[in-house]
Amino acid sequence: MKTTSTINNAQLFFIIFQTQVGVGVLSLPSSLYAEAGTDGWITLMITGGAIQLVVFILYFLSKRFPSLTLFEYAPKIVGKYVAFIISFLYVAFAIATAVIVLELFETTIKTWILFRTPMLVILLLLTVSGTYLAVGKIKVMGRFYQFVSVLIIPLVLMSAYTLKDADIRYILPLGQNGMGTIFKATQKGIVSMLGFEIVLFVYPYVQNKGKAALKSLTLANIAVTSLYTFLTFTTYVFFSPGQLEIIPEPLVYMLKGVSFIIVDRVDLLFLSIWIISVMTSYVSYLYIAGRGIQHLTKRKKTTGSILVAAILALIFSMFSHDRYTVEMLSSYHAKASYFFALGFPLVLLLVSLLFKKKEESQ
């Protein structure tokens, strides 16, 4: 029986949202603190504004080719050979992101929950379930992302509960490190909010394109920015500046101290929910990589390509594994991500505007 493979605007919202919210959320407060001190949460709001500009660029680019993904319209803009290189780089970037998600996931799980479980087993858990979701195509991903987004509510509630022990004086005075530092720290923020570039690959599947899609994108950006700002803010008013300097994952530490009536260790529940967010980010990048491989090898089905992408990511993530290597890799990856989230789309948009390249409407 024929069924549609489109996603509605709510699903687009949740795909963007869940792709953005991911592995970075745990370490974000401390990495921002390192740059901007207790004004880190202001930085995040500015970052949200900056990302909105990028979202506009991505949207205008996608709108010029409403029924094609980036892999499909790149050749029309810059020609076959350059497009091949760009597509290849995007696949490499997506796999690299998946690898980093896997590695951060593995180190976090190892630090907090399963101390002695072999690395490969933990990686396999995420790989197997993630691959199963990714091969289900964008429609299933949309439904799943939307469903699991309900879990964000307990996440927020748990953090909000800690506000009873908050001390607002920790973050006062506002802007104590100067606007320059706050702006400079935005680059740290952008890295953890990456994920909106998936719109380049899912836009053709959206039912209502145009303004409605832009609305979903904007709302997703607002939602992610507010969530991150809120979570960062709660940790900044919970821990004193001195504590923040030495705590690598303040959110989890914060919740470790909280206990409800029958739950003594809230951090374990928090991490269990966090796993789902990690999985969704991982799946999104797996999907991008799979679609790219499918396009480059001119296959008809996506399943095989996604499997290849998953296996590649698994193999790469099995190499170096101490915290420092992961951090080094992440910083390289962060620099590269500017090109993929902003650079390439901007160039493609400018070239297509300059040469009036556009998808012919039937």
118 or 180: CB nearest another protein: 118
The three-state secondary structure class of 199 is helix
In angstroms, give the least distance from the CB of 108 to another protein: 11
* Residue 144 interacting with another protein (CB under 8 A): yes
Task: Report d(CA 226, CA 25) in Å as an integer.
Answer: 13
* Residue 332 interacting with another protein (CB under 8 A): no
* Residue 113 interacting with another protein (CB under 8 A): yes
Minimal CA–CA distance to 94: which of 332, 329, 354, 282?
A: 282
Q: Using CB under 8 A, which residues numbered 215 to 274 contact another protein?
A: 259, 261-265, 268-269, 271-272
In angstroms, give the least distance from the CB of 264 to another protein: 5
Q: Looking at 74-82, 130-138, 160-168, 333-341, which segment touches another protein (CB under 8 A)?
A: 130-138
Among 114, 153, 172, 222, binds another protein (CB under 8 A): 114
Report CA-CA distances (Å) from 61 to 7, 159, 208, 275.
19, 38, 16, 32
Task: Report d(CA 170, CA 239) in Å as an integer.
Answer: 8
Q: SS3 sequence, 34-55? A: HHHHHHHHHHHHHHHHHHHHHH
* Residue 5 interacting with another protein (CB under 8 A): no
Q: Using CB under 8 A, which residues numbered 93 to 112 contact another protein?
A: 109
With contact defined as beta carbons under 8 Å apart, do 193 and 224 qualify? yes
In angstroms, give the least distance from the CB of 265 to another protein: 5
For the chain, how long is the longest CA-to-CA vector? 65
Among 38, 146, 162, 229, binds another protein (CB under 8 A): 146
* Residue 212 interacting with another protein (CB under 8 A): no
Minimal CA–CA distance to 28: which of 180, 309, 214, 244?
A: 244
* Residue 276 interacting with another protein (CB under 8 A): yes
Task: Report d(CA 303, CA 298) in Å as an integer.
Answer: 13
- Indicate left, alpha or beta for 137 from its phi (over 0: left) and psi (-120 to 50: alpha): left
In angstroms, give the least distance from the CB of 197 to another protein: 24
- The secondary structure of residue 7, as a DSSP letter, is B
Residues touching another protein, count (CB under 8 A): 38
Binding stretches for another protein (CB under 8 A): 1-3, 8, 10-11, 109, 113-114, 117, 121-122, 125-126, 129, 132-133, 136, 140, 142-144, 146-148, 259, 261-265, 268-269, 271-272, 275-276, 279
